[in-house]
Chains A and B, each alone.
Chain A
Amino acid sequence: MPKAKAKPPEELTFEQALEELQQVVAGLESGELALEDSLKLFERGQGLADRCSQLLEQAELRLRQLVPDERGGYREEDLEVEE
């Protein structure tokens, strides 16, 4: 459902965008919306789908590792792995 506080799709994680996209489809399926609302919902859905596709296509597995630090804890560093 479109809400006044809805975030722009670019700010959503994949999980959030996909979940809202599924809600959009359910909203359109209900068939109870005025034209203007269903247009808004539809446009929101397209934006969410774009966001999801973009995240999936551009995603690159990030590799990190824990390295002991001087204070007896750990810090994260990039991990290089030879294929």
Chain B
Amino acid sequence: MTQLSFSGYAPRTWTIGDLVHYLRQMVEADFRLQDLWVKGEVSNLSRPGSGHLYFTLKDADASLRCVMWRSDAARQRYLPRDGETIEAHGHLGVYESAGQVQLYADTLRPTGEGELFQAFLRLKARLEAQGLFDPARKRPLPEWPLRIGIATSPAAAALRDVIHVLRRRFPLAEIILAPTPVQGPEAPAGIVTAVRALNRHALPDVILLVRGGGSLEDLAGFNSEEVALAIAASEAPVVSGIGHETDFTIADFVADVRAPTPSVAAELITPDRLELAEAVSGARVRSQRLFEQSLQARRDALREARLELAAGAPRARMANARQRVDEMQLRALRGSRSQLALRAASVSGLAQTLRAVGPPAVLARGYAVVQQAASGAIVRSAAQVRPGESLDIRVHDGTFPATAGAPKKG
């Protein structure tokens, strides 16, 4: 009875489970707590084997437990360390077994990046309105980039990545580095100077603007208006390869081609040495085969002509063959253009054969013609000649007399 008040209200006795669960429902029902950014200093950061990230955000007055699941942690471009002031995005919940309110974070960024990002969006909108990102402005890349300008820091890993790729793919090229800082306050002016110097003094076929990954602040130099304008004004096409795949900078939007990383930028602009070598050896083999085919066609024609010639007596066939040559020449003339050369070649092969079997050529090879001096008749048989008879012997360059001896058995 003592618990009754005059108002008639008696507080209920909760179980812990019910109470904490109720608290959780209250928190989750408040939409303002389900999509929020919170700023604070990181402490007690730990990442056990599970891969989840646990930390506390605190300021002078209070602290808040935070957890980031492994899948979200893996997506972060930026992971904080103890003592850093950051902004975390996520939703509030209650971890019931500990009765603890905590932030389930899905995105982390260094303090100040929020404003930086807003400035980035404003500049992007302004340049876009000026038409700087217009696809019609984008220039095609050269097929053979023999002079490749590179604007980056000589110390950057990005430079070594690019050189590595170019050595492997297209060592025919020459690269010209225009050194520039790629982060910090001097970066924008340095990049502008580098792009201009390359255009004026190196006359490159293409310019690579590259830098390794970093925070939005690290990449700020590539998000400046002056860099955007310098890229737009470049005579040589500009290929950007800045940061990682997920990083987009103003320079990327203005560039003629945006590559996700420096290495990919180097790949995009060059033909591959192996493909080139294949093209060369393919052409070599093909021209060899084509030439051999045309030789074979001519050999076939010649062999055919020889067979026909051998079928008859040379002398009797000679006239026929000559006539045939004439006929073939006529036919060759009448024939289609593509057949013409082939036929002419077989004709000239035929003529060659004819010369080879004609009398002068036969004599030149060492044969002789023997005639009886008295009658001038050609000696075709040993029986024709009597011992002591005068003969004339004709070789290719003249005739000399001879006297027959006793006949021998053939």
Q: Which of A10-57 contact B (CB under 8 A)?
A: 13-15, 18, 21-22, 24-25, 28-29, 31-35, 38-39, 41-42, 45-46, 49, 52-53, 55-56
Q: Cβ of A31 and Cβ of B298 under 8 Å apart? A: no
**CB of B7 closer than 8 Å to a CB of A:** no
Interface magnitude class on chain B = 35 or more
Q: A52 and B166: CB pair below 8 A?
A: no
Nearest chain B CB to A82 CB, angstrom units: 8
* B273 contact set on A, CB distance < 8 A: 56, 59
List the A side residues contacting B163 at CB < 8 Å.
61, 63, 81
- Residues on A with C-beta less than 8 A from B288 are 42, 46
Report the minimum CB–CB distance from B263 to chain A (whole Å).
Answer: 15
| B159 close to A81 (CB less than 8 A) | yes
Shortest Cβ distance from B143 into chain A, in angstroms? 8
How far is it, in angstroms, between the C-alpha of A21 and the C-alpha of B276 when the chains are bound?
12
Residues of A near B345 (CB, < 8 A) are 34-35
Q: Which of A49, A66, A81 counts the most chain B CB atoms within 10 A?
A: A66
A-contacting residues, B321-342, CB 8 Å: 337-338, 340-341
15 contacts between A and B (CB under 8 A): A14-B276, A15-B144, A21-B280, A21-B284, A25-B290, A32-B337, A33-B341, A46-B284, A56-B172, A59-B171, A61-B173, A62-B173, A66-B198, A66-B201, A81-B154
Judged by a CB distance under 8 angstroms, whether B386 is at the interface is: no
B197 near A14: Cβ-Cβ < 8 Å = no
Question: Nearest chain A CB to B119's CB is how many angstroms away?
Answer: 31
Judging by beta carbons under 8 Å apart, are A49 and B284 in contact?
A: yes
Q: How far is the CA of A60 from the CA of B294 in the complex (A)?
A: 39
Whether A79 sits at the interface, judged by CB under 8 Å, is yes
Report whether A24 and B283 are in contact in the complex, using a CB–CB cutoff of 8 Å: yes
